Structure 1
Amino acid sequence: MLAILTILLFGLSAMAWLGSSRWRKTRHRNRVLASPFPKAWRAILKRRLPFFHALPADLQLQLKRHIQVFLAEKHFVGCDGLQITDEIRVTIAAQACLLLLNRKTDFYPKLRQILVYPDAFIVDSQRQDPAGLISEQRNVLAGESWEHGQVILSWKNTLEGAANPHDGNNVVIHEFAHQLDQEDGYANGAPILQRRQDYRSWSSVFNQAFNELVHDAAMGKPSLFDYYGATNPAEFFAVVTEVFFEKPAALNLEHPALYRELSHFYQVDPINWR
Structure 2
Amino acid sequence: MLIVTTLGLLLVAWFIGQPWLIERRRRRWRSQPFPPAWRAILKKRVPYLRALPADLQLQLKQHIQVFVAEKAFIGCAGLVITDEVRVTIAAQACLLILNRRRTDYYPELRQILVYPGAFIVDKVHTDETGLLQDHQRQVLSGESWSQGQVILSWQDTVEGAAIPDDANNVVIHEFAHQLDQETGAANGAPNLPGPERYRRWSRVMHDAFDELQDQADHGEASLFDHYGATNPAEFFAVASETFFERPGPLAELHPTLYRELCDFYRVNPLSW
TM over 0.5: yes
What secondary structure is seen at the aligned counterpart in 1 of 2:151?
strand
Name 2:50's counterpart in structure 1.
53
- Alignment check: 8 A CA contact 2:16 2:22 kept: no
In the alignment, structure 1 residue 95 sits paired with structure 2 residue 92 = yes
The answer as to whether partners of 1:194 and 1:265 remain within 8 angstroms in 2 is no
Taking the aligned partners of 1:81 and 1:220, their CA distance within structure 2 comes to 40
Alpha-carbon RMSD across the aligned residues, in angstroms, is 1.5
- Hey, what does 1:226 align to over in structure 2? 225
Matches within 5 A, 1:74-223: 74-103=71-100, 104-130=102-128, 132=131, 134-223=133-222
Distance 2:141 2:177 in 1: 14
Preserved contact between residue 124 and residue 132 of structure 2 (Cα < 8 Å): no
C-alpha distance in 2, partners of 1:184/1:222? 32
CA contact (8 A) 2:75 2:115 kept: yes
Q: How many residues align?
A: 258
Q: CA deviation at 1:133?
A: 5.9
Post-superposition offset of 1:130 = 3.7
Cα distance in 2 for partners of 1:238, 1:244 equals: 10
Task: Give SS of 1:153's match.
Answer: strand
Q: Secondary structure at the match of 2:18?
A: helix
Range moving further from structure 2, 189-198 or 213-222: 189-198
CA distance in 2, matches of 1:96, 1:18: 28
Q: For the residues of structure 1 that align with 2:132 and 2:70, how far apart are their CA atoms?
A: 42
Query: Aligned pair 1:242/2:241, yes or no?
Result: yes
Deviation of residue 31 (structure 1)?
1.9
- Which deviations, in whole Å up to 9, do the C-alpha atoms of 1:23-82 show, x marking residues without a partner? 110121122123211000011011111111100000000000000000010000000000
Give the 4+ runs in structure 1 shifted more than 4 A. Answer: 17-20
Report the counterpart of residue 41 of structure 1 in structure 2: 38
One-letter amino acid matched to 2:260: E
Q: Deviations for 1:192-239, whole angstroms, at most 9, x for unmatched residues?
A: 013332111111010010011111100001100011101100000000
> Aligned pair 1:269/2:268, yes or no?
yes
Match of 1:31 in 2: 28
Give the match for residue 3 of structure 2: none
CA separation of 1:152/1:20 partners in 2, compared to 1, >3 Å: closer, same or farther? closer
Distance 1:133 1:79 in 2: 29
SS at match of 1:184: coil
- Write the distance in 2 (CA, Å) between the matches of 1:147 and 1:94: 21
- Counterparts of 1:19 and 1:30, CA distance in 2: 15
Do residues 69 (structure 1) and 83 (structure 2) align?
no
Distance (Å, rounded) in 2 between the aligned partners of 1:142 and 1:42: 26
CA distance in 1, matches of 2:220, 2:128: 27
TM-score by length of 2: 0.92
Deviations 1:164-215 (A, max 9, x none): 0100000000000000000011111000013332111111010010011111
Comparing 256-265 with 30-39, greater Cα deviation is found at 30-39
**Distance in 2 (alpha carbons) for counterparts of 1:24 and 1:123:** 38
1-structure distance, mates of 2:126, 2:201: 31
1-structure distance, mates of 2:16, 2:49: 36
* Matched position secondary structure for 2:195: coil
For 2:248 and 2:156, locate their aligned partners in 1 and report how far apart those are by CA, in whole Å. 24
* % identical aligned pairs: 65
Which blocks of at least 5 consecutive residues in structure 1 are unaligned? 1-13
Letter in 2 for 1:68: Q
Unaligned 5+ residue runs, structure 2?
Answer: 1-10
